[in-house]
Amino acid sequence: MKILAIVHYPFNRNAGAAGVIWRLGQEYAKLGHQVEYYSFDNLPQNWPNRLKRVLFPGFVADRIQKLAKEKAIDVVDASTGDTWFWSKMCDRHQSKPAIVVRDHGLEHIEHQEFLEDVKLGKRSMSWKYKLYRGSIRLWEEATALRNADLVMLLNRRAVNLAVAELGVEPNKARLIVNGIPEYLLNLPLEAIEEPIRIAQIGTYIPRKGIQYSSPALNRILDRYPEVKVSFFGTECQQCLDPEQIYRDFEPKFRDRIQVVPRYEHSTLPQLLKGHHIKLLASTSEAFGMALVEAMACGLAPVTTNTPGPLEIVTDKQDAIVIPSRDTEAIYRALDRLIGDRPYLEKLRHNAYQTAQKYSWEKIAQQTLAIYQEALYKREGN
């Protein structure tokens, strides 16, 4: 099978959507399939990412067209919104590949959560957002979803929204999960050693709930003088300077806060060594791959009740699940785990066991079956 894997981000193999499709591609290659990756890296490097995002679907359509003419493609696996232009301009009578749209985080859900934060006064809406992200981009995503042969979605809220609000036919929607690499599976589960360390993994942006988690962490650091907090993979367009993170905390806590803006993914087990609690305070989370990765490294999760994490963990069994946008709930959950070591140990052990189910090899095989179904549907037309 010849697969074109598309993602509207720079192709960073260590994180996010690009990391997902790259790891899937490695598994496909082991099974004898051919994979070509197409991302922002294929566009002129001197263009800003915002411009790339607007023009990317046109470049995608051009690439699909060329490969289709050469009969060098069977399936397109594209992130949401990337194939809308292709779906509008392709020749309906031409032999063309099966289009599978992959959810890395539905922008319609992110938009709903963003509006809620705006309503609560936690974020502001710029004219640029209204002009594109809050309007045109949502139309592009819905168009791509409706015209796909099959749609892969990461949580039930996304499935329900795609079908009920965006016009995706129910028989085209498939629920699928992400995985973790082999080097994160079956690691030794080490005993708790002092001091207690809390980890946040991912970009330091409002969607990750930093406006709610930072006040809670300040209180925890004040109450427990030995507790330490680490931030891993914080770098993004909105947060390029670690000093932006330190400014959210009282100066007296600086020596107990570690910031690692970026890291090689294979080093994550070593980075998380000695950490015990994983905090995920997101207001919108499609899946929560960093959550599973931390669980595999022996961390007990405190996570908001966003759709993605709810597909992974069960409250009081392998995590503490709290309401989103609730600083007091974050504080209480962290306080509970720090003060109750048997409970912390129970959640760590159960979370570790849960994480062992998320193998990329197994998920790649499930995804290939979806590709085959999409091809069958395409050939049937």
Domain segments of the chain: what residues? 2-179+359-380, 182-355
Same fold flag, 2-179+359-380 and 182-355: yes
pLDDT tens by residue, 112-154: 999 999 999 989 999 999 999 999 999 999 999 999 999 999 9
pTM: 0.87
Query: What whole-number distance in Å separates Cα of residue 353 and Cα of residue 349?
Result: 6
Which two three-digit tokens encode residue 114? 């963003």
Q: What is the DSSP secondary structure assignment for residue 191, as one 8-state letter?
A: P
Instruction: Classify domain 182-355 at the CATH superfamily level.
Output: Glycogen Phosphorylase B; (3.40.50.2000)
pLDDT at res. 93: 47
Instruction: Express as a percent the part of the chain with pLDDT over 90.
Output: 87
* Residue pLDDT, tens place only, 309-351: 999 999 999 999 999 999 999 999 999 999 999 999 999 999 9
Residue 237 has what pLDDT?
A: 57
Nearest one of 27, 54, 59 to 42, comparing CA atoms:
59
Rounded Cα distance between 225 and 220, Å, is 9
Q: What is the pLDDT of residue 379?
A: 74
pLDDT attached to residue 12: 87
Q: How many CA atoms lie within 13 A of 114 on its CB side?
A: 14
What tokens appear for 167 in the block? 């016009």
Residues 178-227 pLDDT 10s: 999 999 999 999 888 899 999 999 999 999 999 999 999 999 999 999 99
- What is the structure's pLDDT at 14? 80
HSE-up of residue 30 (Cα within 13 Å, Cβ side): 12
Which CATH code of 1.10.10.60, 2.60.40.10, 3.40.630.30, 3.40.50.2000 fits the domain covering 2-179+359-380? Answer: 3.40.50.2000
In the predicted model, is pLDDT for residue 358 greater than 90? Answer: yes
Percentage of the residues of the chain whose pLDDT score is greater than 70: 97
Q: Which residue has the higher pLDDT, 285 or 91?
A: 285
- Between helices 210-223 and 327-339, what is the axis angle to 10°? 40
